[in-house]
Amino acid sequence: MKVRRRKNFLSLAVLLAFGVINTQAQQPVDRRANAQNLVIGLLTGQTDYREVSITTDEGTFRVYGQGNSRPFEMLEASPERLVIAFKPHGAEPLAPASAARRPQKIVYQFFRTERSLISAIILDEVDYALFESEAVAAEIANTTRNYRILPLPAPANFMEMICYNLKHPILRERAVRQALSYAIRREDLKRRFFATTGADIGVAPFSEDSRYFPPGINEYDYNPKRAVELLKTAGWLETNRDGVLVRNGEPLSFRIFYDQSTQLKEDVIRQIKISWNQINVNAIPIPLSFSEMQERLRSGSYDAVLLRHRFEEALASLEDFFNPGFLNYDSPSLQRAMGNAKRFQGTEAFRANMQRILLIINQDQPVSFLYHPWQTWHVINLVKFDNFFDRGGKLKLYQEWQLRPRPPQ
C-alpha cells in the first residue's frame, strides 16, 4: 500500500460557515455604509443562510433567528445578507480606543458564484472570505495588494467524496459502485487541482495517520479494466447507440448533483464524468444551491452527489453519516460491527472494531472517497483590518478584529 503523508501546518482555530442566496439579482455591497463593519463574503453552494454560525467568547451561536441569550442582535436577515451587532455585555470591557476600533457590525454577504465574490473582493467590498482553490487565491493576489492571502490547514478528515443513493435501481448494486470508484482518476484530480498545496487521496473516512485506519484496505486505485469486469459480472454487457452500457434495455445513466458556486467543483465533476464515460457510464451533472441540495437529500430524490464532510475520529460520527443516513445504506454487517464497537468502547478491542467498520464501508463503497485537501485559502482585507491573528497563528474571533486607524485627511 502506498503511503501518503500530510505535511504539518499550523492548526486552524476558526471554521467559516458559508451561506446561500437566491437566484434573483444580487444587491450591491455599499462600501461607505460598511466602512466600520466586517463584511464576510459567503457562497451560495456551501450552506443555508439560516445555518450560518459564529463563534464568540461566549460560545458558538447560529446567526439567523432571535434569542435574548445570544451576545449579539440580529439587525437584518435575508437570503442575501445577515447583519448582526454585538451587545455591550457580549464581550469583556475594552479600553475606549480598542472599543472604537472594533467592527460595529458583522455583515454576512452572500454570493451566488465564486466569480461574483472575487469581483467584490477586488472592489474592496468584502473584508474576509475563504476559498478552496489555490488558483482563485493566486488570481486575487495578482489583482490587488490590499489583501493578505493566507494558506491555512484544512480541517482533519475533511473529505471530498461522491455519495450514492442506495435506493437508486442502479446505484444500489455494490458492483456498480465499486466499478465507479475504480474508474475515477483520483491521482489526476490531485495533480490537476492540488499540485502545489497537496492533498491526500481519499480511501476511508479517516486519514492513514489515524489509529483506526485498517491495514490492507483496498485503495481503489485507477483500474478501468477491473471496473469493466465488475460491470460485466453485474450484467452490463451491451451498449446503446450513444455508447452507454445497457441492461434489459435500461442505460447505465444517473444524475450527480454538485455545488453550483465554485469553479473547482465544476472542474472536478467534469473530470469524473470523463473518466466514467471511458467505461461507458453516463453521468449527468446538475449544479444546485446548498438549500436545493439539502432538500433533495432529505427527500431522497437524488442519484449521486458531490459533497464535502468532516468526520470526527469517533464511532458517533460514523453512525451519524452511514447508519443508514441519507445514503439509505442499510447494511446488517455494518450495524453489527457498530454494535460490537459500542460494547468495546474504552477497551483495547475498540480499535479493532473501528477498523472492521472502515473495512466494511470500504468494501461496500456507499461513497467514492476522492481527496482531502491540505489547505484552504483565507483572504483578509489588510488595509482595513489588523489584530486578526493570535500569537499561535490562529484566526481570532471576529469581534476581536480591529479596524486600522484612518490616516489623517
Distance CA 386, CA 126 (A): 15
Q: Cα 26 to the chain's mean position, in Å?
A: 24
For the segment 105-152, what is each residue's pLDDT rounded down to a tens digit? 999 999 999 999 999 999 999 999 999 888 899 999 999 999 999 888
The pairing of beta strand 367-373 with beta strand 158-164? antiparallel
What are the residue ranges of helices labelled H in 52-185? 96-101, 114-122, 134-143, 174-183
In the chain, where the domains are located: 38-154+375-403, 158-373
157 to 17, 300, 380: CA distances (angstroms)? 17, 25, 25
Tell me the β-bridge partners of 287.
258
Secondary structure (3-state) at 228 = helix
Q: How much is the mean pLDDT over the chain?
A: 87
| Domain 158-373 -> CATH class | alpha beta
The one-character DSSP state at 201 is E
Residue with cell 467505461: 279
Please, where are the H alpha helices in 87-216?
96-101, 114-122, 134-143, 174-183, 186-193
Residues in the chain, total: 409
DSSP codes joined into one string, 325-388: GGGT---HHHHHHHHHHHHTTTSTHHHHHHHHHHHHHHHH-SEEEEEEESEEEEEEETTTEE--
pLDDT value for 15? 32
Nearest-angstrom CA–CA distance, 338 and 343:
9
Its CATH class, for the domain covering 38-154+375-403, is: alpha beta
d(C-alpha 100, C-alpha 356), whole Å: 56
Strand 250-251 versus strand 402-403 pairing type: unpaired
394: amino acid identity, one letter: K
Say how far residue 306 (Cα) sits from the centre of its chain.
Answer: 9
Q: Per-residue pLDDT tens for 52-83? A: 999 998 999 999 987 778 899 999 999 999 99
**Residue pLDDT tens, the chain, 409 long:** 443 433 333 222 333 333 333 333 345 566 677 889 999 999 988 878 888 999 998 999 999 987 778 899 999 999 999 999 998 754 455 455 556 688 999 999 999 999 999 999 999 999 999 998 888 999 999 999 999 998 888 877 789 999 999 999 999 999 999 999 999 999 999 998 887 777 889 899 998 889 999 999 999 999 999 999 999 999 999 999 999 999 999 999 999 999 988 888 999 999 999 999 999 999 999 999 888 999 999 999 999 999 999 999 999 999 999 988 899 999 999 999 999 999 999 999 999 999 999 999 999 999 999 998 888 899 999 999 999 988 877 889 998 999 998 765 5
Beta strands 282-288 and 253-259, pairing class: parallel
- pTM of the full structure: 0.82
